[in-house]
């Protein structure tokens, strides 16, 4: 199966438009004005980069996908499982300052056109959601903490219970993030992974000895989504690893915390 992400512009990879209902993608580190160590398309307002540079970078990405920055909505992310529905009155929140974003939210969704939902990443897993029956789109930020707290299945539960979305209509795409090849964690993390799964589940990690493990966060999120009823054939995962491809993406782990942020984004087209 072809990778769901293709390079559309030097500033971003786009998700293949299988259903032609959303514009969605993930930014690269290229095409911006930021200086080292954020060179060049840093889009995160919380990493001590020059604010004017970040806003210009965001404006460039918005323009590249045919939007304006005042259509975008950002979140003040905290590695939790809280989700926020976004409407027209929220347009522009977080676009020019981090603290004006959706406070304490790591998941956003909308049922309205002309709103771009955006979250920041530098190894954590971007998860994109949309339905082929209901006009609805969402995005989640799933590091290991948000993953074991169930942010991905929580998005599905919210849609099913509050928005009347049939679970079998939901499509999910897992975006560029650190893969198991580069993601070593300790027993503390693995214990919480085990708690999130049932005994019968395959373990999405391998032991390296000395209580060190290679964790596959992408597979873990897939397992959690399937448990809540998302069809396996409706879940696609990119092969792009942010740590392996540090020439293309920022990687918090590979660059030892001194780096910029990419944006995952999604917008309903009609």
Q: What is the pLDDT of residue 21?
A: 86
pLDDT digits (tens, 9 = 90+) for 110-139: 999 999 999 999 999 999 999 989 999 999
User: What ranges do the domains of the chain cover?
Assistant: 5-180+234-268
Mean pLDDT across the chain: 96
pLDDT digits (tens, 9 = 90+) for 161-175: 999 999 999 999 999
pLDDT digits (tens, 9 = 90+) for 13-52: 999 876 678 999 999 999 999 999 999 999 999 999 999 9
Q: What is the pLDDT of residue 270?
A: 72
pLDDT at 66 over 90: yes
Instruction: Determine the average pLDDT of the residues in 227-233.
Output: 97
Q: Which CATH class is domain 5-180+234-268?
A: alpha beta
Cβ atoms of 36 and 49 closer than 8 Å: no
Instruction: Determine the average pLDDT of the residues in 170-181.
Output: 98
Q: What is the pLDDT of residue 174?
A: 98
Packed helices 217-227 and 151-163: angle between N→C axes, nearest 10 degrees: 30
Q: Which residue has the tokens 């514009």?
A: 23
The predicted model scores a pTM of 0.97
Q: What is the pLDDT of residue 18?
A: 65
Q: What is the pLDDT of residue 200?
A: 64
pLDDT at 202 over 80: yes
pLDDT at 266 over 90: yes
């Amino acid at each position: 199966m072809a990778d769901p992400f293709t390079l559309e512009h030097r500033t971003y990879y786009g998700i293949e438009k299988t259903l032609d209902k959303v514009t969605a993608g993930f930014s690269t580190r290229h095409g911006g004005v930021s200086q080292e160590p954020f060179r060049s398309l840093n889009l995160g307002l919380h990493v001590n980069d020059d604010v004017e540079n970040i806003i210009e970078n965001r404006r460039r990405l918005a323009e590249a996908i045919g939007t304006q920055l005042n259509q975008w909505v950002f979140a003040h992310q905290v590695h939790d499982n809280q989700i926020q529905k976004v409407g027209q009155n929220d347009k522009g929140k977080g676009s020019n300052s981090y603290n004006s974003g959706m406070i304490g939210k790591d998941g956003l969704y909308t049922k309205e056109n002309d709103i771009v939902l955006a979250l920041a990443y530098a190894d954590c897993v971007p998860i994109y959601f949309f339905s082929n029956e209901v006009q609805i789109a969402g995005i989640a930020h799933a590091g290991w903490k948000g993953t074991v707290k169930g942010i991905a299945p929580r998005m599905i539960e919210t849609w099913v219970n509050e928005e009347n979305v049939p679970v079998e209509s939901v499509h999910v795409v897992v975006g560029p993030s650190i893969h198991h090849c580069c993601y070593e964690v300790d027993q503390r993390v693995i214990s919480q992974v085990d708690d999130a799964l049932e005994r019968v589940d395959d373990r999405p990690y391998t032991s390296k000895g000395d209580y060190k493990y290679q964790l596959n966060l992408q597979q873990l999120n897939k397992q959690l989504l399937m448990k809540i009823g998302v069809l396996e054939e409706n879940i696609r995962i990119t092969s792009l690893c942010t740590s392996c491809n540090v020439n293309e993406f920022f990687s918090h782990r590979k660059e030892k915390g001194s780096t910029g942020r990419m944006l995952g984004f999604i917008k309903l087209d009609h």
